[in-house]
Amino acid sequence: MRLSVIGWELPPIFSGGLGVHTINIFSIINKMIDVTVYVPDIEGLSDEYPFNVKKIKFNTENLNKYINNQSKKSENKNYYNIYPYYNNLKIKNINFNNFDFKDFNEMIYYYNKSVIECFDRNTDVIHCHDWITFDAGVELKEKYGVPLVITVHSTEIDRSGNFFPQKYIMDIEKKGIKNADKIIAVSDYTKNMIIDNYDADKDKITVVYNGIDSDFIDTAYKDYNLHKNILYFGRVTTQKGPKFFLEAAEKVIKYFPDVKFIIAGTGDLINDMKVLAKELKIENNVIFTGFISLNNKIKYFKDADVFVLPAVSEPFGISVIEAMGMGIPTVISNTTGVGEALYNVFKCDFYDTDLMAEYIIGLLKHQGLRETMGANGQIEARKFTWNNAAIKTMGVYKSIFEGVKHE
């Protein structure tokens, strides 16, 4: 079997879970079948990967035609808009033959067109990830009659926190969901989201949980002495709930004046969160680290007493099982997808910062509680492996040709 994966990012140039997912799952699947991953030709990509990589450049002549055509049309400001979720994707390095795009949507449009032009039709299955590649997948399926699998890692409703989701993006998501032969959702939470909001056929959907990298399990014994570090790790966007992290912090600091709340990551709300920290008069207790490399990520995890993810809408949450894999007691919102499969975590509504603060205070006060939650969570996190995810994904591919739904 030959698999063509239309992706968007690969380490070391990546912004979040999509790049982590791609490198981990397809390095395993490539041991079983022939995998080619399509990605933009971005400065900084590695020369070698554990699967075939096709780096996509733009066709400059066609791009010029498109730009000229667009200049003749009236501008639709709602159509072209850089969505804040993608502001930290190092877009400036993605210039495709030195073309400067006026916004992210235009870049995505032409990436999809360029994938179609460069596509090797000698393949058995096309696999697309999130809306940024759905257009290419649907057109290639229609053009060559190749089965299409899509993975929904998140939806526009998730990314916007259900606050003015962009119709343009939702329309692309609906088209991909409608035309896919099989759909992979990263959680039951996401499965229900696309059934309820995108009219997805439930019989086409298989839930495949993400995995955890061995680096977050094969580490030294967790030190449960009190370091007074509370960690938020991820994009600083509405979706992830950093506002509620700081509101809980204000309450905790009244009991532990010298505790540090660490916001590790980048995103469009960084400046807003710095302003909020000042307004809450906790700026001396809040550390903004900016982007964190893998090695530094592990260091921050080791020094954390509690990990908190108060997400407004998180389809999965790889950082949650990474933290648990390293033995960190964890507090998450009820709207975090991975939480449906977890027992050794504290859960609350993302807006219930009183309860969130109570959980944090309890963990800071009681070392025995930290040790018990941390040890049990570490055991629980081990069931989330990329091997399991890869095997179940292979089952989805196989089910296309067997004509049955894979369970």
Q: Is the pLDDT of residue 307 over 60?
A: yes
Predicted pLDDT at 58: 64
Predicted pLDDT at 397: 97
Q: What average pLDDT is seen over the chain? A: 88
- Residue 345 DSSP one-character state: S
Angstrom CA distances, 50 to 14, 28, 61, 68, 191, stand at 17, 8, 33, 40, 30
Q: pTM score, two decimals?
A: 0.86
Predicted pLDDT at 315: 94
Alpha helices in 160-304 (DSSP H): 167-179, 188-198, 242-253, 270-279, 294-302
Predicted pLDDT at 162: 72
Predicted pLDDT at 298: 85
Predicted pLDDT at 65: 58
The per-residue pLDDT for range 21-46, each reduced to its tens digit, is: 999 999 999 999 999 999 988 778 88
Q: Is the pLDDT of residue 398 over 60?
A: yes
Residue 315: which residues within 8 A CB-CB, separation 6 or more? 152, 153, 154, 155, 158, 185, 186, 187, 189, 190, 193, 337
pLDDT > 90 in the chain, percent: 70
Q: How many CB atoms lie within 10 A of CB 237?
A: 26
Alpha helices in 303-404 (DSSP H): 318-325, 353-365, 367-381, 386-402
The mean-pLDDT minimum among 7-11, 139-143, 258-262, 371-375 falls in: 7-11
CATH topology of domain 214-381: Rossmann fold (3.40.50)
Task: Identify the three-state secondary structure at position 289.
Answer: strand
Q: Hey, where are the domains in the chain?
A: 2-211+386-402, 214-381
Work out the average pLDDT over 294-310.
Answer: 90
Kindly state the tokens that stand for 16.
Answer: 């979040």
- CATH number assigned to the domain covering 2-211+386-402: 3.40.50.2000
Instruction: Name the residue with higher pLDDT: 275 or 111.
Output: 275
Enclosing H/E stretch for 139:
helix 134-144
Residue 360: which residues within 8 A CB-CB, separation 6 or more? 230, 248, 252, 306, 308, 331
How much of the chain is in helix, strand and coil states, percent to nearest 5?
Answer: 45, 15, 35
The per-residue pLDDT for range 121-170, each reduced to its tens digit, is: 999 999 999 999 999 999 999 999 999 999 999 999 998 877 788 899 99
The per-residue pLDDT for range 179-214, each reduced to its tens digit, is: 999 999 999 999 999 999 999 999 999 999 999 887
> Residue 140 corresponds to which amino acid?
L
Kindly state the tokens that stand for 160.
Answer: 């916007």
Predicted pLDDT at 164: 80
Quick one: how many helices (H) and strands (E) in the chain?
Answer: 14, 13
Q: Do domains 2-211+386-402 and 214-381 have the same CATH topology?
A: yes
Predicted pLDDT at 403: 59
